Amino acid sequence: MPTSLTLRATVVSLALFAAIVGIWHLAVSGSGSAAKMDPEYAKLMGLTATQGKSAMPGPADVGAKIWQHLKDPFYDRGTNDKGIGIQLAYSVARVALGYLLAVAVALPLGFLIGMSPLMSRALNPFIQVMKPISPLAWMPLALYTIKDSGISAIFVIFICSLWPMLINTAFGVATVRREWINVAKTLEMSPARTAWRVILPAAAPTILTGMRISIGIAWLVIVAAEMLVGGTGIGYFVWNEWNNLSITNVITAILFIGVVGMALDQLMARLQRLVSYAD
* Residue of higher predicted confidence among 5 and 98: 98
Burial class (CB in 10 A: 0-12, 13-18, 19+), 120: middle
Indicate the range of 115-119, 132-136, 191-195, 243-247 predicted with least confidence.
191-195
Q: Is the pLDDT of residue 21 over 80?
A: yes
- pLDDT value, residue 42: 53
Give start-end residues of each CATH 1.10.3720.10 domain in the chain: 84-274
Which residues, in sequence order, are CB contacts of 50 under 8 Å at separation 6+? none
pLDDT in tens, 184-243: 878 878 878 888 888 888 899 999 999 999 999 999 999 999 988 878 899 999 999 988
pLDDT in tens, 58-85: 899 999 999 999 998 998 887 778 889 9
Q: Is the pLDDT of residue 43 over 70?
A: no
Q: What is the 3-state secondary structure (H, E, C) of 93-144?
A: HHHHHHHHHHHHHHHHHHHHHHHCHHHHHHHHHHHHHHCCCCHHHHHHHHHH
Q: Please tell me the distance from the alpha carbon of residue 4 to that of residue 44, in angstroms, as a whole number.
A: 48
Which residues, in sequence order, are CB contacts of 272 under 8 Å at separation 6+? 205, 208, 209, 212
SS3 166: helix
Beta-bridge partners for 82: 76
Beta-bridge partners for 76: 82
Q: Please tell me the distance from the alpha carbon of residue 50 to that of residue 113, in angstroms, as a whole number.
A: 61
- pLDDT value, residue 35: 42
Going from the C-alpha of 261 to that of each of 26, 207, 216, 275, the distances in angstroms are 28, 20, 7, 22
Q: Please tell me the distance from the alpha carbon of residue 249 to that of residue 73, in angstroms, as a whole number.
A: 13
Cβ neighbours of 7 (radius 10 Å): 10
SS3 49: coil
What pTM was computed for the model? 0.84
Q: Is the pLDDT of residue 279 over 50?
A: no
Residue pair 57/87 in contact by the 8 Å Cβ criterion: no
The CATH H-level (homologous superfamily) assignment of domain 84-274 is MetI-like (1.10.3720.10)
Angle in degrees, CA 136, 156, 110, rounded to 5: 120
